[in-house]
Amino acid sequence: MLTRSPTPFPIKMRIGGAQRDEARYPRDDQALGRALLARVEDVLARGIPRPTVLAFTDDQVWWYDLGPAVKMKADIHRLIAAIAGQDGIDCVAVVGVLNVRVSKRHHFPGAVAFLEWPDGRWWSSMHPLRPLPDKKLEPVPQAEVIERSAVDGWPRPGGLGGWWTRARVEGLKLRVQRTGDRQVH
């Protein structure tokens, strides 16, 4: 549940979690980002992956399906900031197929992994995609994966990141409640 002062703003979404496997989710910024982008590209073979937020603690990884929030036109940036504002979160990543905007008139679908840490450090990768006849997408042949990071001096992409700052300024923390018979951790 995303708390918007003074009333809560409920969003029903799928959430899952597991122990952090360092072979699957390495601690190195670049290695983690590349591993996440590779997973997005693997899922593309079966269909278009929904945008997902992954939140990493020292020993856990949590994933949040953004599909329902996107569908109801919720403030996605605020939702991700609330996820980042939870105690113990070391890194937040947004992964999936996103609309990549290069200019006001030029945009295209891309397989994206964008990661941010509480100190403002970020890392991103994007692989341009092209549509296939069966409403699927595939990486553009010979297109390079574009990797950028704060450490390399790149400006942060518009609309992504700044989540910890927003969480601190607005006092955001995600509150999760289980619904029905399914338990949410």
**pLDDT tens digits, residue range 123-142?**
999 999 988 888 788 888 88
Q: What does the pLDDT average to over 23-44?
A: 94
**34-69 confidence digits (pLDDT tens):** 999 999 999 988 888 889 999 999 999 999 999 888
Cross-strand pairs, 95: 52, 113
| Number of other CB atoms surrounding residue 173 within 10 Å | 16
**62-120 confidence digits (pLDDT tens):** 999 998 888 888 889 999 999 999 999 999 999 999 888 777 787 888 999 999 999 99
Q: What does the pLDDT average to over 157-185?
A: 80
- Strand intervals (E) in the chain: 2-4, 7-9, 15-19, 52-56, 60-65, 91-101, 107-116, 122-131, 137-139, 146-149
Q: Which phi and psi angles does 162 have, rounded to 5°? A: 75, 15
Is 163 a residue whose pLDDT tops 90?
A: yes
Where are the chain's structural domains? 20-69+90-162
b/e per residue 69-96 (b: at least 16 CB within 10 A): beeeebeeebbbbbbbbbeebebbbbbb
- What's the confidence (pLDDT) of residue 7? 39
Cα separation of 29 and 90, whole Å? 12
